[in-house]
Amino acid sequence: MNEDKVIEQIARPIIEQLKKLDNSEIQKKWNQIPKIHFVRDDGMEGPLVIDGVEINDEFIEKLEAYVQEELEMLEKPTILH
């Protein structure tokens, strides 16, 4: 499986939960769009590999960017006249 597919596979459940929050009272309390940040456990021995893709710092940055972009697209901009 290629890296983009693994990112989508990991991000899908996260985005679904964010969509639920978007429709809740919690979202009304946000003053700004939350910033997404993932942390890899340094205590793990050896590399973490999912479907042949190594989960390293570069991969995590791409995953963060993908989820952040999806979160920003959930926001419905308003136009003030």
Domain ranges of the chain: 3-74
Kindly tell me if the per-residue pLDDT of 14 is higher than 60.
Answer: yes
pTM of the model: 0.76
Model pLDDT, residue 81: 54
- Higher model confidence: residue 43 or residue 67? 67
Give the bridge partners for 50, in sequence order: 53
- Residue 49's SS3 state is strand
- Helix locations, 23-78, DSSP H: 25-29, 57-74
What's the mean pLDDT in 9-14?
93
